[in-house]
Amino acid sequence: MKQKSFFCRILSGISLLLLLTACTPSGQQTSLTSEEEEFPVSEFPAANLSIPALPVEEEGKIKGVWVSYLEFDHMLKGRSEKKYRANIQDMVKNCKEQELNTLIVQVRSHGDAYYPSQYYPWSVHVTGSPQKGCSFDPLKILIEEAQKEDLSVHAWINPYRLMQEEEMELVSKDYKIREWYQNDSYMEKGTDGYWYLNAGNDEVQELIVNGIQELITNYDLDGIQIDDYFYDKVKPKAFGESDKEGRENVTQMVKKIYQCVKNQDAELLFGISPAGNFRESPVSDSTQLTDLSLWCTEEGYLDYVAPQIYWDFEDPEAPFLEVLEKWENLVKDSPVKLYVGLAAYKFSESEILEEEMKTVLEREVPQGYFLFRYDNLV
């Protein structure tokens, strides 16, 4: 499915309210984070904003929204196929009416799957237990409903983060993540209580790439996105490696994913959404051992980068426009496109988000934005 053009119109407000209940897991945070920020997981403020319409000359720009495992907790978990489809239809309708054109849908948040998978167990955010299967295919339904409204769908995965101990012990030994459980050649327990795969292990990299190949083979996707948990809660020294080796491990994996995606379909997109902090270079290059300074400037790694610039224009440490300009300068002479991650969870009840969306659309380098996240728009 290719990106379609959309009619230009300005919405004066949003009056839609889904009759859904939020059931968020205690103590968990979504996997999309900006450095040193905590996100609300149990409060969904209603948005009071007008999403800017695209000028005719900018209709190719992306206006997207992240749909996380937290949304699936109340749209999918414990729901019948009929109820789930109705929830997805409501979501797609809301996005369409708000002039959005792209969904970034989490399909693997904790070494799990939100679709029938050969490589990963069902997510607890789908069925309530990794031991319990789902009688229908949630991802297939979502893509079907999105395509009816000409919305693109990118599958969003967290490549390294797994479940916590009590859930890991319930996973069938038929899956690699259970076979490798507590083996420090393959995984280590993070400071947040979750287990994390060893990015430098060749079998781990093979599993991650196989999972992506499964997705792009079986589903009519427009792209693959990975988020900002790299060497975050577990550092390379836990696996007996240096930071330099850790950065090389992540770069190797990024390149393998890019090649996998392009071998399937040259028009499929592969992107990364890192923390938005930027000083002399992207901060995650030092804190999480990414190499965005390389990936965003040379061919063969990414189609796009979507930094999470989750601050307002007057932020004393990271003013929005100043940070945006640094990212623009990083990609302006490269083949990598810039999409901007914006904090709907933080600014949906103020004029800040509207102004940031407008700013992104009016500037030459950014090719659109992603809003974090859907529950904060309805």
Per-residue pLDDT, 350: 81
Q: What CATH number should be reported for the domain whose range is 56-160+199-377?
A: 3.20.20.80
Over 90: is that where the pLDDT of 42 sits? no
- Are 32 and 110 in contact, with CB atoms under 8 Å apart? no
- Are 121 and 175 in contact, with CB atoms under 8 Å apart? yes
Q: Is 81 helix (H, G, I), strand (E, B) or coil?
A: helix
Read off φ and ψ for residue 339, nearest 5 degrees: -115, 150
Closest by Cα among 66, 63, 45 to 54: 63
Over 90: is that where the pLDDT of 208 sits? yes
- Where residue 14 falls among pLDDT bands split at 50, 70, 90? very low
CA 272 to chain CA centroid, Å, is: 8
In three state form, how does the secondary structure of 322-358 look? HHHHHHHHHHCCCCCEEEEEECHHHHCCCCHHHHHHH
Over 50: is that where the pLDDT of 11 sits? no
Q: Would you list the domain boundaries of the chain?
A: 56-160+199-377
Per-residue pLDDT, 221: 98
- Where residue 349 falls among pLDDT bands split at 50, 70, 90? confident
Q: At a CB cut-off of 8 Å and minimum separation 6, what does 24 contact?
A: 41, 42, 70, 73
Task: Enumerate the β-bridge partners of residue 35.
Answer: none
Closest by Cα among 186, 289, 190 to 239: 186
Over 50: is that where the pLDDT of 5 sits? no
Task: State how far the Cα of 204 lies from the Cα of 179, in Å rounded to an integer.
Answer: 12
pLDDT of 86-98, one tens digit each? 999 999 999 999 9
Per-residue pLDDT, 52: 60
Rounded to the nearest 10 degrees, the angle between the axes of helix 202-218 and helix 243-264 is 30
- Where residue 51 falls among pLDDT bands split at 50, 70, 90? low
Task: State how far the Cα of 365 lies from the Cα of 336, in Å rounded to an integer.
Answer: 10
Tokens representing 263 are: 């071998």
Q: Is 226 helix (H, G, I), strand (E, B) or coil?
A: strand
Over 60: is that where the pLDDT of 340 sits? yes
Task: State how far the Cα of 70 lies from the Cα of 48, in Å rounded to an integer.
Answer: 21
- Please state which of the ranges 31-35, 123-127, 210-214, 310-314 shows the lowest mean pLDDT: 31-35
Q: What mean pLDDT comes out for the span 292-310?
A: 98
Tokens representing 254 are: 């990024």
The length of the chain, given as a count of residues: 378
Q: What mean pLDDT comes out for the span 189-204?
A: 97
Q: Is 109 helix (H, G, I), strand (E, B) or coil?
A: coil
- For residue 261, the surrounding DSSP H or E stretch is helix 243-264
Q: What mean pLDDT comes out for the span 318-325?
A: 98
> The sheet that has 187-189: what strands, in order across it?
161-164, 194-197, 187-189
Per-residue pLDDT, 58: 60
Q: Radius of gyration of the chain from Cα atoms?
A: 19
Over 50: is that where the pLDDT of 261 sits? yes
- Please state which of the ranges 4-13, 42-51, 193-202 shows the lowest mean pLDDT: 4-13
Per-residue pLDDT, 376: 94
Mean per-residue pLDDT of the chain: 88
- Where residue 164 falls among pLDDT bands split at 50, 70, 90? very high
Tokens representing 65 are: 């929204």
- Where residue 260 falls among pLDDT bands split at 50, 70, 90? very high
- Please state which of the ranges 1-15, 48-62, 189-203 shows the lowest mean pLDDT: 1-15
Over 80: is that where the pLDDT of 79 sits? yes
